[in-house]
Chain A
């Protein structure tokens, strides 16, 4: 099929950047979106130009490195997928596809479609961990955990830190991300030791890094490739209130 791509090109983080239009005549519906970009890059290289820079690693929806804003949506039109899992079958012949990097003050563009996601690492460093001694893994059944709680923790723990929530949010807020991290520990006994400090530190850090705040619009939940629920944000708010009051 034939497609027209309008892609953000930016030489360096300081460069002003601009959109460049590319046409591809022989895209297969069996390609993934990133394979289509690889194919486009091969053509660009053959023409002696500099290929489009974009992030990717595992290409199976686990690592969270890829992530492009495609036609007004993070990761394109398919629901519950990362950009690398997006199939070209979601598009039709003659489509015009606009590809932009995540836009957020906290995620500056480094080159073309690559952004600096260090802000998420800083958020994790601020409280998204539990302190345990290194060594052999303890016996899993020594601490009994309710089934419902383990499910809540797991559903929050599937967050891959891709930043789709920030990209989708009209306020470029990282609330869904930190709520997933806080929730994942809030319902488990291992997370209780640092629970109070964690929620406060992560929210403070989020503000410091220049992320916006939550207006309960729900775009993050709609676009999260791991379909993390807004209920986690309510839990984050509860945890925060409890930490402040108690």
Chain B
């Protein structure tokens, strides 16, 4: 295993798999979050409680944290290697035709990481009892937070950056694990583009609706 992870390509492959896993997780998370739009707090709270109590889900939570840890740690390590690979920069900014967001993945990742910390403080730490709040009623907590304009704006901005990150990430992950085919790659890219728009938009409409209509 150690020799497998020794090379940059191996790290990239594991990072891509972790990323794809996080992409799937986002869908599950969005499905639960959409219950926040219901006037009845029970569906959301029941789903949140189920996620907190079910032992299989609890075990899955560890896998999820490992996914985040691998994706972030190796993302940073690989990025540092990449910076070191060109100690002297060009003075003329390169104008090659490229995948635009790929150039900013680390910076977008940092913003998403900051959001993760805020998210943890607001919800996961409450669940652990480290921060004051009612872990039985996340519905109410989320509604209260989304009524704070600054919080909602930060939330929306973070999801915009997540959309940029996902736009490159989705198709890039397939390329990294070796799945590139003249027939299927355009479809993968299209699905990636749709995913990167629809999923962050799904998350983003929740605070907007709550702020203006609830």
Binding site for B on A (CB under 8 A): 19, 69, 71-74, 98, 100, 103-106, 168, 170-173, 200, 203-204, 206-207, 210-219, 222-223, 230-231, 233-241, 244
Asked if A212 contacts B96 (CB within 8 A), the reply is no
Q: How far is the CB of A179 from chain B (nearest CB, A)?
A: 10
Asked if A104 contacts B180 (CB within 8 A), the reply is no
Residues of chain A contacted by B81 (CB below 8 angstroms)? 171, 207, 212-213
Q: Which of B6, B13, B78 touches A241 (beta carbons < 8 Å)?
A: B13
Residues of chain B contacted by A240 (CB below 8 angstroms)? 7, 9-10, 13, 178
Q: Which chain A residue shows the least CB distance to B11?
A: A213
Q: Which of B87, B89, B93, B172 touches A215 (beta carbons < 8 Å)?
A: B172
Any chain A CB within 8 A of the CB of B105? yes
Q: A216-B176, A237-B13 are in contact. Are A171 and B82 (CB under 8 A)?
A: yes
Asked if B103 contacts A213 (CB within 8 A), the reply is no
- What would 4 more interface pairs be, CB under 8 Å, given A219-B96, A231-B180? A104-B85, A213-B78, A216-B102, A231-B182
Q: How far is the CB of A5 from chain B (nearest CB, A)?
A: 12
Would you mind naming 23 contact pairs between A and B with Cβ atoms under 8 Å apart? A19-B91, A73-B96, A100-B91, A104-B85, A105-B86, A168-B94, A168-B96, A172-B82, A203-B8, A203-B9, A206-B8, A207-B7, A216-B99, A217-B99, A218-B97, A218-B102, A222-B98, A231-B180, A231-B182, A233-B175, A237-B176, A240-B178, A241-B13
Q: Which chain A residue shows the least CB distance to B7?
A: A203
Residues of chain B contacted by A210 (CB below 8 angstroms)? 84-85
Binding site for A on B (CB under 8 A): 4, 6-13, 78, 81-82, 84-99, 102-103, 105, 168, 171-172, 175-182
Residues of chain A contacted by B8 (CB below 8 angstroms)? 203, 206-207, 213
Give Cα A212 to B78, complex, Å. Answer: 8
Q: How far is the CB of A96 from chain B (nearest CB, A)?
A: 10
Q: Which chain B residue shows the least CB distance to A235?
A: B178
Q: Which chain A residue shows the least CB distance to B102?
A: A217
Q: How far is the CB of A163 from chain B (nearest CB, A)?
A: 13
Residues of chain B contacted by A74 (CB below 8 angstroms)? 96
Q: A171-B82, A237-B9 are in contact. Are A103 and B90 (CB under 8 A)?
A: yes
Q: A170-B103, A234-B178 are in contact. Are A204 and B94 (CB under 8 A)?
A: no
Give Cα A98 to B94, complex, Å. Answer: 11
> Taking each of A19, A200, A236, which has the highest tally of chain B beta carbons within 10 Å of its own beta carbon?
A200
Give Cα A240 to B96, complex, Å. Answer: 28
Give Cα A168 to B85, complex, Å. Answer: 13
Q: Which chain B residue shows the least CB distance to A207?
A: B8
Asked if B172 contacts A216 (CB within 8 A), the reply is yes
Asked if A237 contacts B96 (CB within 8 A), the reply is no
Give Cα A98 to B85, complex, Å. Answer: 22
Give Cα A204 to B8, complex, Å. Answer: 8
Q: A216-B175, A217-B102, A230-B180 are in contact. Are A72 and B92 (CB under 8 A)?
A: yes
Residues of chain A contacted by B89 (CB below 8 angstroms)? 103
Q: Which of B86, B88, B95, B182 touches A212 (beta carbons < 8 Å)?
A: B86
